[in-house]
Amino acid sequence: MKAARFHGRHDIRIDDIAEPEPRRGAVTIDVAWCGICGTDLHEFLDGPIFIPPVGHPHPLTREQVPVTMGHEFSGTVTQVGDDVADLHVGEHVVVEPYFVCGHCPQCVAGRYNLCTSMGFIGLAGGGGGLSERIVVDQRWVHPVGDIPLDQAALIEPLAVAHHAWIRSGATSGDTAFVGGAGPIGLLLAAVLHAEGLTVIVSEPGAARNAMATSTGVADHVLDPTTDDVRARVLELTDGRGADVGFECSSVQVVLDQLVDVVRPGGVIVNVSIWSSRASIDIQKVVLKELDVRGTIAYRDDHPATIDLVRTGKVDLAPFITAKIPLERLVPDGFQALIDHRETAVKILVTPTGPAS
């Protein structure tokens, strides 16, 4: 079958590889659509990062470069292994793309996203969504019902956003400030809006700024190149400040803004992955008694996330900006996201047949 595999920095190839073998407790999935994630871009530009390099196989998968990429994907179950219950051939599904050890203290406590050996399907090995077919253990496979499969491919990043909201502790009626309207920032705004929060988005890019407005996920959209962000947030909150702020840009000035715009006693959640060390004005954090929290991926978030889409509380269709065949992955996918990051939000890839 065809699969996009990472061979090294700036070296992703469409290879012919053997189809995965069915196994007990797992299902075979024909991949319909796979999204290109910011993490995939980081691997392409600077990797291997999460992908295990040659000579250092992942402790759970025992795989190393080259590995098949893709962890934001949807598809159809085509084969059900022995000991699999509640999944059926023909069912439309998405995958929570984890490898976890199951026995470290974090796994035992149920915090499997913090597993000390954790890896992701499509990065650490185990196949990936940028291939025609994959075999995944039942635990990680979630039916999506009648959600269109192209939209379902965005459920994985939407689950990242849902987990960030859970980590914040924010509730309906609160005001949230989202710094950065890239794919995760926009999807986070969608979750917050669906959960009844007032959402203020700050984004300098005109196209992303416009998408935050046109999709209706933000109640207020600020341009930090022309707006006094702190003054506008105070104005919009009657001088109180935002209850919670989310860093979704990995840009230092945005983190600084969050410390300024979140109210005393409020919460800051860092959602983005940083490629360099960030700093924070700890004196302001102390004097305002701010909580600063991290969030990584998701944990038991997929059912609730799927329900947000299934019930129409979140509409994922507007965030899909292009669809391409697997053969055009690098020029029309990776390179487009690098060269046109302002207008390209989520590019979907189909491993089988022409994009439509």
Kindly indicate the confidence band of residue 354, based on its pLDDT and cuts at 50, 70 and 90: low
Chain mean position to CA 276: 20
Would you say residue 336 has pLDDT above 80? yes
Map residue 10 onto helix, strand or coil.
Answer: coil
> Long-range contact list for 98-103, CB < 8 A, 24+ apart?
98/140, 98/297, 99/58, 99/60, 99/61, 99/124, 99/125, 99/126, 100/60, 101/59, 101/60
Amino acid identity of residue 334, one-letter, is F
pLDDT tens column, 147-163: 999 999 999 999 999 99
CB contact at 8 A, 99 and 60? yes
Task: Decide if pLDDT at 116 tops 90.
Answer: yes
pLDDT in the model for residue 352: 84
Residue 276 is encoded by which pair of tokens? 């360099």
Residue 335 phi/psi, 5-degree rounding, is -70, -35
Looking at residue 117, the DSSP 8-state letter turns out to be T
326 closest CA partner among 53, 2, 76, 81 = 2
User: What is the CB-side half-sphere exposure of residue 195 using CA atoms within 13 A?
Assistant: 25
Q: Give the confidence band of 298 by pLDDT, cuts at 50, 70, 90.
A: very high
Q: Under a CB-based contact definition with an 8 Å cutoff, are residues 154 and 72 in contact?
A: yes
Helix (H, G, I), strand (E, B) or coil at 265: strand
pLDDT recorded at residue 328: 97
- Please compute Rg for the chain using Cα positions: 20
| Residue 353 pLDDT exceeds 90 | no
HSE value, Cβ hemisphere, 13 Å, CA-based, for 133: 15
Is residue 355 over pLDDT 70? no
How would residue 343 be classed by pLDDT, with cut points 50, 70 and 90? confident
The whole-model pTM stands at 0.96
